[in-house]
Amino acid sequence: QVQLVESGGGLVQVGDSLRLACAGSGHTLSSYAIGWFRQAQGQEREFVAAISRSGATTYYGDSVKGRFTISGDNAKSTVYLQMNNLRAEDTATYYCAVRYYGDYTEALGYRYWGQGTRVTVSS
């Protein structure tokens, strides 16, 4: 069974950058497509980004396009989310998960969610 652990969250200011990491154990993440989602307090979980199993294709939510970049390091079995030009509305807990089926943007198709890492963007 795959276990995912997110890290890299923190408190930053508007315009700053952060890099989140999603580290996998149990099975190498290169065997899976991985997605990042976020959930702000009182809101539904929102798709952020995903990377295909091969790493050749990436997907982004409209609100992060041009600012966030997803990438993978197979040797480290880790998927990264580089977040630039952060905004106050990016404040949320960020989760990674393994995509099993369906549309990349739909949380229902994902399994093995991590515990999340909190990102707070202060204005």
Task: List pLDDT tens digits, range 47-101.
Answer: 999 999 988 999 999 999 999 999 998 888 999 999 999 999 999 999 999 999 9
Model pLDDT, residue 60 = 98
Phi, psi at 107, each rounded to 5° = -65, -25
State whether the Cα torsion 96-31-28-66 is positive or negative. negative
Decide if pLDDT at 8 tops 80. yes
